[in-house]
């Protein structure tokens, strides 16, 4: 299929954004066919949602066009997720929830850790809520519902929650109801992935100063965020919004490979281990060189100097959706601010590099293209891996709903 690039997406997207839709329906039990009252019905990663009435009915209105995830959650039932487009729904929905049955593994093996939160709670908070300044005022109100499994042989830690997490973010002024579906840390690959369905609710206050602080914090975490980048990419306004994109490739460290083979000019052979060199004759400056090389990483990052344009990695799919595809890695620099010093402290980075602009890296794990909506939402998000600054900053404490837009001033 021919790819049409992003030159006209902005105008078309704005025209379609004016069209709004209403979705209604009824939630029933698949087992009894009876209505389910008080079920939570919402659009994931937004502030749009409500609960079903006594008849199991719901109405959600003022919905923009484009792909959405309609989520239905109720204690004792499996989470229901419908990925659809509101403009394609022409009649009230009838949704049946399946009763949740505990997996056989839980019943037979009892593999949940008894002291899971005591052992892994701090680790979970750091990787889910985050370790930024905003995380200090972001708390999980019901951490007791989180359970852990540790697969030591595989080097994998998983977390589960049958009940919705209630997160109080006093930094940004949100209550977040988060239906956790997956949390997995792979200690071998050193990656963390989590997936779930958050519903954002604005905190209420009469204090005008607190409202201004919330608004200022929201704007601060938005600028330079992945949401900001994806919206800029959709509109092909990367440079105007302060982003620079460069291609990055990871190449083998050939000099280190040569040194590790123990073969040197003139046929001299040395033996190396982590503690010392065993050799017959070699100059001292060569020892320093070999030692220096062996301390290097096996892979070297090479960044191309040429800036990429938005339409070189994104392409038109429809008026509210763009595709994104690239090879290797992208280095993304946000030029309008500096990195948080806490980031440097946490990873013990070279102090001479600070202050500098935030630098993040992304790669497509399965080499599959992803879809980007005009509001910055990503489908499928688990195919995109964040490295660098975003791997530290993009956590729940800095999350914003996709119906949030900063002041235009």
Give the pLDDT of residue 7.
Answer: 42
DSSP 45: T
261 and 292 share one domain? yes
Give per-residue pLDDT as tens, 209-234.
Answer: 999 999 999 999 999 999 999 999 99
As a whole number, mean pLDDT of residues 169-198 equals 94
The CB density around residue 189, as the number of other CB atoms within 10 Å, is 10
33 and 129 share one domain? no
Residue 336 pLDDT exceeds 70: yes
Q: Which two tokens stand for residue 147?
A: 């359970």
Residue 109 pLDDT exceeds 80: no
Q: Domain range spanning residue 290? A: 254-296
Query: Cα(84)–Cα(89) distance, rounded to whole angstroms?
Result: 8
Residue 105 pLDDT exceeds 80: no
Give the pLDDT of residue 267.
Answer: 41
Model confidence at 64, pLDDT cuts 50, 70, 90, reads confident
How large a percentage of the chain has pLDDT more than 90?
A: 65
As a whole number, mean pLDDT of residues 259-272 equals 51
72 and 133 share one domain? no
How large a percentage of the chain has pLDDT more than 70?
A: 81
User: Could you tell me where the beta strands, DSSP code E, fall in 253-313?
Assistant: 271-272, 277-278, 299-303
Final residue belonging to a domain, choices 244, 264, 296: 296
Give the pLDDT of residue 266.
Answer: 40
Residues 6+ apart with CB under 8 A from 320: 13, 16, 17, 64, 65, 66, 67, 373, 374
Residue 16 pLDDT exceeds 80: no
46 and 138 share one domain? no
Assess if residue 62 is contained within a domain.
yes
Residue 162 pLDDT exceeds 50: yes
Paired strand residues for 333: 244, 359
88 and 109 share one domain? no
64 and 137 share one domain? no
Structural domains counted in the chain: 3
Assess if residue 122 is contained within a domain.
yes
Assess if residue 370 is contained within a domain.
no
110 and 32 share one domain? no
Model confidence at 272, pLDDT cuts 50, 70, 90, reads very low
* pTM for this predicted structure: 0.83
Model confidence at 351, pLDDT cuts 50, 70, 90, reads low
Assess if residue 281 is contained within a domain.
yes
As a whole number, mean pLDDT of residues 158-185 equals 95
42 and 106 share one domain? no
Final residue belonging to a domain, choices 206, 241, 272: 206
24 and 40 share one domain? yes
Q: What is the mean pLDDT of the chain?
A: 85
Give the pLDDT of residue 244.
Answer: 98
Assess if residue 66 is contained within a domain.
yes
Query: Cα(46)–Cα(138) distance, rounded to whole angstroms?
Result: 18
Assess if residue 304 is contained within a domain.
no
26 and 76 share one domain? yes
Model confidence at 9, pLDDT cuts 50, 70, 90, reads very low
Helix axes 9-17, 226-234, angle to 10 degrees: 110
Backbone φ/ψ region at 38: left (φ over 0), alpha (ψ -120 to 50), beta: left
Assess if residue 305 is contained within a domain.
no
The CB density around residue 119, as the number of other CB atoms within 10 Å, is 14
Model confidence at 332, pLDDT cuts 50, 70, 90, reads very high
Assess if residue 123 is contained within a domain.
yes
Give the pLDDT of residue 262.
Answer: 58
Final residue belonging to a domain, choices 166, 184, 206: 206
3-state helix, strand, coil in the chain (%, to 5): 25, 35, 40
Burial class (CB in 10 A: 0-12, 13-18, 19+), 107: exposed
Model confidence at 253, pLDDT cuts 50, 70, 90, reads confident
CA distances from 328 to 175, 243, 251, 381, 384 (A): 38, 19, 11, 17, 12
90 and 109 share one domain? no
If one compares 136 and 289, the residue with the highest pLDDT of the two is 136
Give the pLDDT of residue 10.
Answer: 43
71 and 46 share one domain? yes
Q: Which of 94, 85, 95 is nearest to 21 (CA)?
A: 85
Give the pLDDT of residue 298.
Answer: 75
């Amino acid at each position: 299929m021919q790819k049409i690039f992003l030159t006209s997406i902005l105008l078309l997207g704005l025209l379609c954004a004016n069209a709004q839709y209403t979705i209604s329906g009824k939630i029933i039990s698949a087992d009894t066919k009876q209505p389910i009252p008080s079920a939570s019905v919402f659009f994931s990663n937004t502030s749009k949602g409500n609960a079903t009435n006594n008849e199991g009915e719901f109405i959600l209105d003022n919905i923009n066009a484009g792909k959405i995830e309609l989520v239905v959650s109720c204690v004792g039932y499996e989470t229901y997720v419908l990925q659809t487009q509101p403009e394609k729904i022409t009649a009230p929905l009838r949704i049946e929830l399946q009763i949740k049955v505990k997996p056989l593994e839980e019943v037979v093996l009892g593999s949940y850790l008894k002291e899971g939160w005591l052992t892994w709670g701090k680790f979970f908070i750091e990787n889910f809520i985050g370790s930024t300044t905003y995380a200090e005022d972001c708390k999980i109100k019901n951490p007791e519902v989180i359970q852990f499994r540790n697969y030591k042989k595989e080097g994998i830690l998983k977390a589960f929650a049958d009940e919705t997490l209630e997160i109080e973010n006093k930094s940004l002024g949100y209550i977040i109801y988060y239906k956790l579906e997956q949390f997995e840390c792979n200690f071998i690959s050193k990656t963390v992935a989590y997936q779930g369905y958050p519903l954002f609710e604005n905190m209420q206050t009469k204090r005008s100063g607190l409202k201004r602080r919330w608004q200022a914090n929201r704007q601060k975490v938005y600028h330079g965020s992945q949401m900001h980048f994806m919206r800029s990419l959709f509109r092909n306004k990367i440079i105007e919004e302060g982003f620079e994109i460069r291609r990055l490739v990871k190449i083998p460290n050939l000099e280190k490979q040569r040194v590790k083979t123990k073969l040197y000019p003139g046929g001299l052979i040395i033996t190396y281990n982590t503690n010392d060199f065993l050799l017959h004759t070699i100059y001292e400056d060569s020892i320093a060189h070999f030692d220096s090389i062996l301390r290097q990483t096996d892979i070297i990052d090479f960044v191309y100097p040429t800036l990429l344009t938005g339409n070189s990695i994104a392409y038109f799919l429809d008026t509210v959706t763009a595709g994104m595809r690239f090879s290797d890695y992208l280095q993304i620099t946000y030029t309008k601010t500096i990195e948080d010093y806490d980031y440097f402290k946490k990873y013990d980075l070279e102090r001479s590099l600070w202050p500098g602009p935030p630098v993040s890296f992304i790669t497509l794990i399965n080499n599959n293209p992803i879809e980007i909506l005009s509001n910055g939402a990503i489908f499928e998000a688990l195919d995109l891996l964040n490295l660098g600054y975003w791997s530290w900053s993009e956590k729940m404490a800095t999350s914003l709903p996709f119906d949030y837009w900063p002041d235009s001033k």
